[in-house]
Amino acid sequence: MLDPYKIREYFPILKRKINNHPLIYFDNAATTQKPRQVIEAIKEFYEKCNANVHRAIHTLSQEASELYENAHEEVAKFINANGMEEIIFVRGTTEAINLVAYAWGLRNLKGEDEVLVTLMEHHSNIVPWEMLSKINGFQVKYVGVKNDGTLNYEAFENAISEKTRMVCLSHVSNVTGVINDVKKVAKIAHEYGALVLVDGAQSVPHLLVSVKDLDIDFLAFSGHKMLGPTGIGVLYGKREILEEMEPFHGGGEMIREVTFNTVTKRCSISWNDLPWKFEAGTPNISGGVGLMAAVRYLKDVGMENVKAHEETLTEYVMRRMQELEKVKIYGPKDASVKCGIIPFSVDGLSSHDIALFLDSYGIMIRSGFHCAQPLHEKFNLKSSARASFYIYNTREEIDRFVEVLKEIEQF
């Protein structure tokens, strides 16, 4: 088991006080705090070897290029991909999904084709497909969710057909924390010849994820939700699929050659090798360096330990919250089938009221739809409050959280 008290020493922000109270950060599903190792890695890059990558033969550019390529390799190993060719750096999960939608979907989806999406998805795994369907005319079909927030696998098997070209689902729900059986879904999808895109924004930071074991075609996740900086994310894709796809953005770096034909008066263009084919322009180099530091930190902690710590905290907080009379928790009650995310409500108060009250005691949570309005509609909720945990959170923080909720009940 990891030691959260020792881990906390590496996170400067946790020493802050909010409204004269020690900061308790329970908004980790939105973004995580950064350890000194990540902060120092970014600082050292800018202080010692800042230069553009793959653009020059001078020392700084060579050093920056090596760091940036090493970052791709580290991420590939972290999720058990075949190599850096399958790792594309993007701005985040949202851009990764849009890349698949437009670089693959724009050329492969039409007419009677169908894309299956679950109703527990983040908007970033719904909106791009709805937008693209209006361009290409294919159908977006939705798979329902049970009353406890878990995926309805029977409904999924009834919905999939020979028309299904892509299945899109979250590995972990950002609202309930429920862990979906991605391996099962992928096996069924592949039997119908469909590809599988997994939103791993809430799973890669919390679980030991192997793309080979899951046998998925695409995986999207964000650096800032796994101790890394904002503005950097990852799209994993099977190499044979990425090779067949056309680029999403055009410009520098993603090309091998651009020549002008004097006869046709047109330019002839050939694409660069993977993964650079999908990384047009100057990339977020420092973000890649920071993400590499975050990945190395998590590897040192051990992803099995991360999952075990969160499961312990989740089980503890749900037990403590049973003491509350006006608080309702949504989603499954079994901590072993979910990551450390607790959506809840307090009778008579909006989620924003709850969040503001907690903030006055230095406790940070999320309120609103969490970019997953269809799932809230399933629960008949206008919004929800959400507490989410990570490696630096403790039982003492949960005790304080419950104490303040009791005050809210009295209020």
User: Tens of pLDDT along 159-209?
Assistant: 999 999 999 999 999 999 999 999 999 999 999 999 999 999 999 999 999
Between the alpha carbon of residue 158 and those of residues 155, 170, 335, the distances in Å are 5, 19, 28
> How are the residues of the chain apportioned to helix, strand and coil, as percentages rounded to the nearest 5?
45, 20, 35
Are 54 and 197 within 8 A, CB to CB? no
Q: What average pLDDT does range 32-42 have in this prediction?
A: 98
Enter the tokens of residue 84.
């850096």
- Terminal-residue alpha carbon distance, the chain: 38
Query: Mean pLDDT, the chain, as a whole number?
Result: 96
Q: Which residues are catalytic?
A: 371
- What pLDDT, on the 0 to 100 scale, is given for residue 1? 81
Q: Two tokens at 383?
A: 């919004």
**Do residues 344 and 381 lie in contact, with contact meaning Cβ atoms separated by under 8 Å?**
no
Integer Cα distance of 294 and 275 in angstroms? 21
Domains of the chain: 4-26+302-410 (3.90.1150.10), 39-299 (3.40.640.10)
The answer to whether 354 and 340 have CB atoms below 8 angstroms apart is no
Rounded CA-CA distance 382/363 in Å is 22
Report pLDDT digits (tens) over 83-118: 999 999 999 999 999 999 999 999 999 999 999 999
In sequence order, which ranges of 110-236 are alpha helices (DSSP H)? 127-136, 153-159, 182-191, 211-214
pTM: 0.96
